[in-house]
Amino acid sequence: MNLKDFDKTIFPGLFISKDEHPSYGKKYITRFQYGLKRYVKVLGYDKLDRLNDNKALKLMQEYKNVLAENKDIVLQDITNEKVAPKNKVSSKQKTPTRSSVKKMEEKVSIPKSQFEECKFLKNTIGDYKSVAPDVFAKGIQKIYDYEEMKEYQVELIKLQKYLEKTKKKMIILFEGRDASGKGGAIRRITRYMNSRHYRVVALGKPTETQKNQWFFQKYIEHFPTGGEIVLFDRSWYNRAMVEPIFGFCTTEQYEIFMEDVVNFEHDLVRQDMIMIKLYFSVSKAEQLARFQSRQSCELKHWKLSEVDLQAQDLWDEFSDKKYEMLRRTNSKSAPWHIVRSDNKHKARIEAVKIILNSVEYDKKNYALNFEPDEEFNISVSQELSRMRKNNDY
């Protein structure tokens, strides 16, 4: 939440948004320092919640009061419900009286609501000590990621219903290096969709018949009908990167493809095909870490292929082909969208935003953030500039 998007009110710590939401109005937030921590909280909207400066000030004060009430809470170990330090009692010491115990409890001063919260956490978490700390932390983070993604997945269902109703066709291409996160993104995107109206296509090695066909023919066979979405886990852009590097096509075939593909996609878009091209850009260090994870984890062994084992050694070759592909095949009718994918969750969220922003579907939830995160969702020109400037392809 950037303060440059908000104006100050007459009350310190209380701000109101410069821009107005068409349905909810302007947004009030509070931002202040309490102790060593900085707090930011959304208080509501002037239209939706009927707020003005004075009402928002009251909500801000109520929030501060809650913080003030809890400032003296002492929780030594919420999982073991230790609410006070226990002193060792020697045989010569007297047993504590009721009055002394009561005084100890008053010093600790734990509100009942906080005690109940600790008990709830203990019952929910269970025997967390039996789980490795890093695994436990990742598991907790996945819960938050799941909840954030769920709101966007609801929007994907609305989008799918709109395509069904209007009989529109959509193709989504997922491209990127090995271990860039394409498969995980596809699984999150399709998780709650109606399986009768989408297909995931991942073609293997071409057959002898396909080798003698027009190159695009084997892909056209899988194109969507009205109301359907087809997601290509790698697509005809294999010819722009993988095939020339491993010698699966000639230099002439490569050049013909690079010259023809823009017109091919332009014709598809002219015939009302919604075309979305996503390139997942993973760093060399992160790719290596993911390969090592595949080697060490038995659940991921199946993901490791011969091509994967050569990906790091051929990094520069893939980089050159990536640069040429983005430079020569980016067009107004079918532009590339670059998704930085070292952070898998952020990459998935940004990929979903790109898809949702491609169509004006019914009942869109404008309270959600559909703006691209410029750290993870960037333009082709930015990516090419970065690659040239840092010599990082």
Helix axis angle for 133-166 and 344-356, nearest 10°, is 10
Q: Are residues 110 and 12 in the same domain?
A: no
Q: Are residues 170 and 275 in the same domain?
A: yes
In angstroms, rounded to a whole number, what is the distance separating the alpha carbons of residues 242 and 249? 9
Q: Are residues 121 and 224 in the same domain?
A: no
Q: Are residues 78 and 40 in the same domain?
A: no
In a domain, 89, yes or no: no
In a domain, 260, yes or no: yes
CATH number of the domain within which 171 lies: 3.40.50.300
Q: Are residues 104 and 148 in the same domain?
A: no
Cβ atoms of 227 and 159 within 8 Å: the answer is no
| Residue 56 neighbours by CB distance under 10 Å | 22
CATH number of the domain within which 48 lies: 3.30.160
In a domain, 90, yes or no: no
What is the tally of structural domains in the chain?
3
Percentage of the chain surpassing pLDDT 90? Answer: 64
In a domain, 271, yes or no: yes
In a domain, 46, yes or no: yes
In a domain, 50, yes or no: yes
| pLDDT confidence tier of residue 67, bands split at 50, 70 and 90 | confident
Q: Are residues 324 and 297 in the same domain?
A: yes
Cβ atoms of 235 and 173 within 8 Å: the answer is yes
Burial of 386 (0-12, 13-18, 19+ CB in 10 A): middle
* 86 pLDDT more than 80: no
Torsion from C-alpha of 313, 316, 319, 323, nearest 10 degrees:
-160
Q: Are residues 172 and 65 in the same domain?
A: no
In a domain, 267, yes or no: yes
Q: Are residues 366 and 284 in the same domain?
A: yes
Percentage of the chain surpassing pLDDT 70? Answer: 87
Range of the domain at 365: 134-389
In angstroms, rounded to a whole number, what is the distance separating the alpha carbons of residues 243 and 253? 10
Q: Are residues 109 and 186 in the same domain?
A: no
Over the stretch 156-210, which tens digit does the pLDDT of each residue have?
999 999 999 999 999 999 999 999 999 999 999 999 999 999 999 999 989 999 9
Q: Are residues 58 and 78 in the same domain?
A: no
pLDDT at 63: 87
Question: Which comes out higher in pLDDT, residue 40 or 216?
Answer: 216
Cβ atoms of 331 and 361 within 8 Å: the answer is no
Asked whether the whole model's pTM tops 0.75, one would answer no
Q: Are residues 310 and 358 in the same domain?
A: yes
